[in-house]
């Protein structure tokens, strides 16, 4: 199973829904389009705008979904929340997750690249990637992005933003966060990603 299929499989367990919020989905609109094609209108919440035309039942609200004040004035809670590949970019991933979960009433689909359990000690520990010394970064950099910053290394300690990978979060910790917010994980998917990493995702309900 590839990652795209894993994401769509999880979504299919929730559809159709009355309405969905897709957090951070502007750059990859395939999941919003998948929902729209199955009768679920979608609001994408993202600071970016889609690069391709989107279905009429998809709307875009531009702004920072990690900002509670912005969300409060910009969107209403939806039946389904979609949260793919965004938490590892957030300055406060747990706070951002809790905020997004509060805007989903019935179901969520969550998933992202995660540190494999073998890389976490204990397996519930996450890693702040910019703090990894340069000589150890090659062991953590996903292969397809290796060398993107040349001699400076991948995770730059002096110039990190939400556009970069900030956190290596293992599946056990992400699972714990979801469950402790009162959600029940109904299905999970794990897909090999690159050395030391897996893509882990889940479908969870209230």
- What is the SS3 assignment for 187-202? EEEEEEEECCEEEEEE
pLDDT in tens, 167-194: 999 999 999 999 999 999 999 999 998 7
* Alpha-carbon torsion (138, 140, 145, 150), positive or negative: negative
Q: Domain extents for the chain?
A: 3-113+170-205
Q: At residue 91, does pLDDT exceed 80?
A: yes
Q: Which CATH superfamily is domain 3-113+170-205 in?
A: Vaccinia Virus protein VP39 (3.40.50.150)
Dihedral of CA atoms 26, 29, 32, 33 in degrees, nearest 10, equals 150
pLDDT in tens, 124-178: 788 888 888 777 776 776 654 544 444 555 666 666 777 778 899 999 999 999 9
**Per-residue confidence at 123, pLDDT binned at 50, 70, 90?**
low
Helix ranges restricted to H, 49-92: 68-74
The verdict on pTM exceeding 0.85 is: yes
* pLDDT of the residue at 146: 46
CA distance 8 to 186: 15
């Amino acid at each position: 199973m590839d990652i795209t299929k894993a994401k769509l499989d999880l979504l299919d367990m929730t559809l159709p829904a009355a309405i969905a919020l897709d957090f951070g989905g502007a750059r990859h609109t395939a999941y919003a389009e998948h929902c729209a094609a199955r009768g679920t209108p979608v609001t994408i919440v993202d600071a970016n705008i889609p690069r391709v035309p989107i279905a009429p039942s998809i709307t875009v609200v531009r702004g920072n979904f990690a900002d509670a004040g912005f969300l409060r004035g910009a969107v209403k809670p939806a039946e389904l929340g979609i949260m793919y590949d965004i938490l590892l970019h957030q300055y406060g991933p747990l706070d951002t997750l809790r905020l997004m979960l509060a805007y989903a009433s019935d179901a969520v689909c969550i998933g992202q690249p995660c540190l494999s359990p073998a890389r976490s000690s204990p397996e519930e520990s996450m890693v702040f990637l910019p703090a990894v010394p340069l000589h150890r970064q090659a062991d953590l950099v996903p292969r397809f992005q290796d060398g993107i910053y040349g001699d400076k290394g991948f995770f730059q300690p002096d110039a990190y933003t939400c556009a970069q990978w900030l956190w290596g979060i293992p599946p056990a910790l992400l699972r714990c966060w979801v469950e402790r917010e009162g959600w029940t994980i109904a299905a999970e998917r794990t897909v090999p990603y690159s050395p030391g990493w897996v893509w882990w995702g889940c479908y969870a309900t209230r």
